[in-house]
Amino acid sequence: MKLSDRLSRSNGNSGEPRQTGPFPVAPPEIQATAIVTSSAASPPTLSGGSSPVVATTAAAVDALAGLKQRAAQALFERMGTRFGDSASSEESLRSSAVEELSAVIDQEQVPLSPEERRRLIREIADEVMGFGPLQRLLEDPSVTEIMVNRFDQIYIERHGRLTLTGTRFSSDDHLRTVIERIVSKVGRRIDESSPLVDARLEDGSRVNAIIPPLAVNGPSLTIRKFSQVPLTVQNLIDWGSLTPEMAELLSACVRARLNIIVSGGTGTGKTTLLNVLSSFIPPDDRIVTIEDAVELQLQQEHVVRLESRPPNIEGKGAVTIRELVRNSLRMRPDRIIVGEVRSGESLDMLQAMNTGHDGSLSTVHANSPRDAVARLETLVLMAGMDLPLRAIREQVSSAVDLIIQVTRLRDGSRRVTHVTEVQGMEGDIVTLQDAFLFDYSAGMDAQGRFLGKPVATGIRPRFLDKFAELGIAVSPSVFGTGVVPIGRR
């Protein structure tokens, strides 16, 4: 017999949580945090409109939720002061919570199998110490993104595919509690006066949350997970995102201190590729990273990490990316890495690239290398400087040496589709030359995955002369004749 059935029978199928025992029913604020299992999402029904099965299922779910509520309340009564103890590590607190919960379950005198007991304790501990229903998804390494559309609808991305899960929150208040728990850990806030926020988890995973009145259907939460183990260039080669020849060229470009822009759409893997490129930076270079929310996972020791700050509740105290870029110029950086340019800081970044800070890296949202150049021009205009368009294009063509385009294909894979050299100006046009292009002509396999890979166009970039001056060798095979159809160039 299932746990929920036994609980329902012990409660006389009344649908009310058990009132006996040493623990009273939790107050509303504790009830709001109860975990509702996936069986509550789609209870079975009988044909003809009758609902005995629905009533039985609802009673069982209520009984299980009641048990969790009472256990959570008892845990807070036993450990309330220790939860606020900053001297205790999260691991020790969780261990103590599990011990206390075990004692609470024993006093409840509910017949539980060993597996049911472990699952119940784990779920309550996740609710008190972690992020509730999301905790299991965050710990699943195969899940790369979590999308909470509303409290009872949670999608995940796994292997590039979106899937609706059976996991759910108990209410909007429950979801709101988890959101506030996440953002408060990084010094951010979310309320009616500031109803949207960008934050991060401790492991660097990116978090975006938005609540009413902006979110019409209730609070919404999106988490883009970062791998616990930083990805390497070999991982990207194994997945087909890069080829060994392309990796050799990119490594040489970073060591030769070329200024590189990684371009792509949302969720294409720009930050992941930026992390991989940063691994080619020599360990004795001083690196300054500038981000809205810290995401980069640099492996070097000589790194200063800067993070922008939103305004406080009075609308003051904000520190923008642009101010951090300006400040970084006084920090004697060898490399400046801007997580993403999306506003007027692009002008300061281009000026830094043009004034002795070679080897800088950044990302930008664009659908092609040509679009990336056009977007940089637009972002420079957002700086509020009344600059002529030709002057802006000269800045871009002089500052940027290489544009790497990352694309998420229809099969869910993320591939580098362009490695493009910025050669300079011809008249009023910034000239670009592709060194690598993705071969779409290879078609797709039976599973719908693209068979193509990035191949060389056969054109040698002009920056090879700089490689020769610095003594950086690149294999001649890197620029072998490509098989890219003419129509794709």
Residues counted in the chain? 489
Would you state the pLDDT for residue 429?
A: 92
Average pLDDT, the chain: 78
**466/468 Cα distance (integer angstroms):** 5
Would you state the pLDDT for residue 313?
A: 72
Least confident range from 121-125, 362-366, 380-384, 423-427: namely 121-125
Of these ranges, 34-38, 89-93, 94-98, 354-358, the one predicted with the greatest mean pLDDT is 354-358
pLDDT tens figures, 370-380: 999 999 999 99
Q: Which CATH class is domain 137-224?
A: alpha beta
Q: Is the peptide bond prior to 213 cis by the omega test (within 30 degrees of 0)?
A: yes
Element housing 143 (H / E): strand 143-150
Residue 106's contacts (CB-CB under 8 Å, 6 or more residues apart) are none
pLDDT > 70? residue 65: no
CATH no., domain 233-488: 3.40.50.300
pLDDT tens figures, 263-291: 999 888 898 899 899 999 998 899 999 98
DSSP sequence for 261-325 = EEEE-TTSSHHHHHHHHHTTS-TTS-EEEEESS-------SSEEEEE-B---TTS---B-HHHHH
More confidently predicted of 171 and 103: 171
Of these ranges, 5-9, 58-62, 440-444, the one predicted with the greatest mean pLDDT is 440-444
pLDDT tens figures, 342-370: 888 899 899 888 887 889 999 999 999 99
Residue for token digits 């159809």? 485
pLDDT > 70? residue 431: yes
Global pTM reads 0.72
268 burial via Cβ count (<10 Å: 0-12, 13-18, 19+): buried
* Both structure tokens of 410: 């229809």
Q: State the distance between the two ends of the chain, measured CA to CA, in whole angstroms.
A: 65
| CB 467 within 8 Å of CB 474 | yes
Whole-number percent of the chain with pLDDT over 70: 73
pLDDT tens figures, 141-177: 889 899 999 999 999 998 878 899 988 888 898 899 8
pLDDT category, 232, cuts 50, 70, 90?
confident
The domains of the chain are located at: 3-124, 137-224, 233-488
**455/352 Cα distance (integer angstroms):** 32
Would you state the pLDDT for residue 412?
A: 81
pLDDT > 90? residue 202: no
